Amino acid sequence: MTTRQRVLLLGATGETGGSILEGLLAADQYDVEILVRPSSASKQSVKDLVDRGVQLRVFDLCAPQSEITSALSGIDILISAIGPRDLLQQEALVRAAKEAGVKRFIPCAFITIAPPTGAMLLRDEKEEIYNEIKRVELPYTVIDVGFWHQISFPSVPSGRVDYANFGPDATIHGDGDAPNILTDLRDIGRFVARIIADDRTLNQFVYTCGDVLTENEIFGIVEELSGEKIERTFETSQQIEQKVEDAVSDLAQNPDDLTKRMAVWIAQYNHSKYVRKDNRPDYAKYLGYLDARELYPDLVPVSFRDYFLEVLDGKGKRPYMG
């Protein structure tokens, strides 16, 4: 490429979007702008990015399509790391991106490997957007990442890793032997910066991966590195299934209640990961995903082991805490 690609990122102040922004800036090969909704333009987190020299495009995803199309003028690559509650707002963005001639759209995927429909409500909504993309023939890449190291380690009895733990817990789900694709949150952006410059990934599904570990293996690593014996609790497959059923029925009674919706997401993540055992490389391959480790053998992602050493060293950071 002779000219730098102009990348517009939606969701830059979120966890996934933040990782992507860092990855794009570090790659030093893109002109990076961020898409900010009017309601967020005055947020401190946005101002911090402006102070770092990132350019803003402020517009509303609910604006008429022609306005969104104009606002996307000059953008080569559009990356959406929109929040899970707003996924369907991407529909207008897809149509506008097609109109505006965007050369590649990265819809908000960035989750675990799961079937297109029927296993996770969160995935079902993403599929609706993928189908809209295909309907309008917009060039795209879907990037999934498995689960993050940052939310995949158990608590230890001393409590010394709880400062970095999203929900301190030491539960083995099902038999604990389901292999899970894990990516360090910080590596998402490093992978994305490579994937979006790569012709091999155009109109493809790709997954990133730092490690593939079962819960039993994770608990083993954590015990080995911490020197502490974890007091495991156990949740059976039946209990996990029951939690899904309860959460789905709760949501049906309160379809607009975001906390009920989040409860479904969490219950279905556990069901998909530990009962269906979806989040594994061979299922990803079956579903047609390319493996980013094979595409970029020179990109060495952070292993779970190295990540957890950082946590023990006091360098962890609890996600979703700003």
- Annotated catalytic residues are 126
Residue 1 buriedness (CB in 10 A; 0-12 / 13-18 / 19+): exposed
Min CB(286)–a copy of itself separation in Å: 6
Q: How far is the CB of 205 from a copy of itself (least distance, A)?
A: 9
Pairing of strands 180-183, 211-213: antiparallel
Question: Residue 227 or residue 288: which is nearer to a copy of itself going by CB?
Answer: 288
Partnered with residue 289 across adjacent β-strands are 205
DSSP 64-119: -HHHHHHHTTT-SEEEE---GGGGGGHHHHHHHHHHHT-SEEE-S--S----SSSS
Q: In 3D, which of 186, 156, 183, 154 has the Cα closest to residue 171?
A: 154
The least CB distance from residue 128 to a copy of itself, in Å, is: 8
Q: Please, which residues bridge with residue 290 across strands?
A: 206
| Nearest residue (CB) to a copy of itself, 129 versus 172 | 129
Q: Are 139 and 103 in contact (CB under 8 A)?
A: yes
Q: Which is nearer to a copy of itself, 55 or 131 (CB)?
A: 131
Contact footprint for a copy of itself (CB under 8 A): 115-119, 131-132, 134-135, 137, 139, 203-204, 283, 286-288
Nearer to a copy of itself, 40 or 117 (CB): 117
Residue 153 CB, nearest approach to a copy of itself (Å): 28
Longest CA–CA span in the chain (Å) reads: 60
Characterize 216-238 residue by residue with b for buried, 16 or more Cβ atoms within 10 angstroms of its Cβ, and e for exposed: ebbbebbeeebebebeeeebeee
Least distance CB 119 / a copy of itself (angstroms) = 7
Q: How far is the CB of 107 from a copy of itself (least distance, A)?
A: 14
Nearer to a copy of itself, 139 or 168 (CB): 139
What residues does 147 pair with on adjacent strands?
Answer: 182
- C-alpha to C-alpha distance for 219 and 212, rounded to whole angstroms: 13
Instruction: Report the relative pairing of strands 171-173 and 204-207 from DSSP bridges.
Output: unpaired
Cβ burial of 82 (10 Å; 0-12, 13-18, 19+) is: buried
Kindly report the CA angle at 58 between 10 and 17, in degrees rounded to 5? 20
Cα–Cα–Cα angle for 86, 91, 94, nearest 5°?
Answer: 125
Measured from the CB atom, the residue of 50 and 202 that comes closer to a copy of itself is 202
